[in-house]
Amino acid sequence: MKILSVFGTRPEAIKMAPLVSLLAHTIDIESKICVTAQHREMLDTVLDLFCIKPDYDLNIMRHGQSLCQLTAAVLTALDAVLNAEKPDLLLVHGDTTTTFAGSLAAFYHRLPCGHVEAGLRTAHKYAPYPEEVNRRLTGTLAEWHFAPTSGAADNLLAEGVAAKNIFITGNTVIDALLATVHKPCDLEGLGLEKVDWSRRVLLLTCHRRENWGRPMKEIFSSIAALLVDFSDIEVIYPVHRNPGILAQARECLSGLPRLHMCEPLPYLPFCHVMKRCYLVLTDSGGLQEEAPALGKPVLVLREVTERPEAIAAGTARLAGIGRDTVYAAVSALLQNEAEYKKMARSINPYGDGHAAERIRDIISGLNI
């Protein structure tokens, strides 16, 4: 069976790394990798860490390109790869433009598609934007759905996907995290030299498109107020490479005391910062899954989430996107140790570190 795995952004690469590494060593499977390079630098550090050598690199990232341009570029470039490779199965991951365009290209070539991390839903078309619609469309196009949790599987069943095509596997992000977090790591040269680790360190990431503009300003304004009111906290903020986000972050956060803005961290040092921090503030998807596994409370900088499991387990809370709601959620945890301890429990609602093995075994057994 020839399998072509298609991915292109940082989170897809992190979450596909455990699976493509296994597929590469599976007898009876010929595994090919095509990266769209929707992200360039942020993708390349992940490929290096996991020693992944793509067979195809579409190199489509352009600064300032629109979602339409990005989608068209992925589709056009993949057309040629599919004509050349004629795989038996195409694998995509998650909910990015690469995911949607990859699954659409597979459909146009009448190829079966397997969707890893299938079934996540918020039921809000624009939250997250454009991911909610990307994953719904991918769900329609895909043949096999690898759902990380039973809740995700239920979402697919409710949409009419046949039960025999849905597999609950856990999330491969836990495989990647557990394979990485214990490796030795030096934080030198990453812009974190001035962090005082004896203080409480808050790890911040914020990049969602629906948070661009006013919500991001409000979030940053609450961070500024927290740094003034709590003299014993430090904030580490690795800023996404999207130039618009960097400009907004500089405008709102430059010069604040104990704020450490840095470039995106490679995954290994990022795991170490997650492990050492006090709590996580994020609008990212992946961090909502990783932080609970490390026993770190997560305050989600969004109004809805497709990852309700950590909230149900008590290690994550929705902090919203308003200045006051974010401030209130963070200050409550900083001031109330009992509340903090209740959240800071290590749980793994998203997987046991063996999701990739399960997906590989299921794929091996498919009758293609």
Q: Could you identify the residue written with the tokens 């001035």?
A: 194
Taking the complex as a whole, the smallest distance from the CB of residue 54 to ligand UDP amounts, in Å, to: 19
Please report whether residue 238 would count as binding ligand UD1 according to CB under 6 A.
no
192 residue type, one letter: L
Of the two residues 67 and 247, which places its CB atom closer to ligand UD1 in the complex?
A: 67
**Active-site residue, 306 included:** no
Please report whether residue 356 would count as binding ligand UDP according to CB under 6 A.
no
**Active-site residue, 272 included:** no
Annotated catalytic residue, options 209, 241, 276, 354: 209
Cβ neighbours of residue 14 under 8 Å, at least 6 residues apart? Answer: 46, 173, 176, 267, 286
- Distance of alpha carbon 282 from alpha carbon 318, whole angstroms: 10
Please report whether residue 59 would count as binding ligand UD1 according to CB under 6 A.
no
**Active-site residue, 95 included:** yes
Annotated catalytic residue, options 10, 115, 207, 302: 207
Pick from 5, 8, 11, 36 the residue near ligand UDP by CB under 6 A: 11
Annotated catalytic residue, options 12, 57, 117, 132: 117
Nearest to residue 315, comparing CAs of 348, 285, 284?
348
Q: Say if residues 127 and 304 touch (Cβ distance below 8 Å).
A: yes
Specify the pairing of strand 89-93 against strand 279-282. unpaired
Of the two residues 2 and 354, which places its CB atom closer to ligand UDP in the complex?
A: 354
Would you list the DSSP string of 242-308?
A: -HHHHHHHHHHHTT-TTEEEESPPPHHHHHHHHHH-SEEEE--SHHHHHHHHTT--EEESSS--S-H
Q: Say if residues 321 and 301 touch (Cβ distance below 8 Å).
A: yes
Please report whether residue 289 would count as binding ligand UD1 according to CB under 6 A.
no
Specify the pairing of strand 298-300 against strand 2-7. unpaired
Pick from 155, 205, 305, 315 the residue near ligand UDP by CB under 6 A: 205
Where does this chain bind ligand UDP (CB under 6 A)?
10-11, 14, 173, 205, 238, 264-265, 267, 270, 284-287, 290
Q: Show which residues are catalytic.
A: 95, 117, 131, 207, 209, 240
Where does this chain bind ligand UD1 (CB under 6 A)?
9-11, 38-42, 61, 63, 65, 67, 95-97, 130-131, 207, 209, 240-243
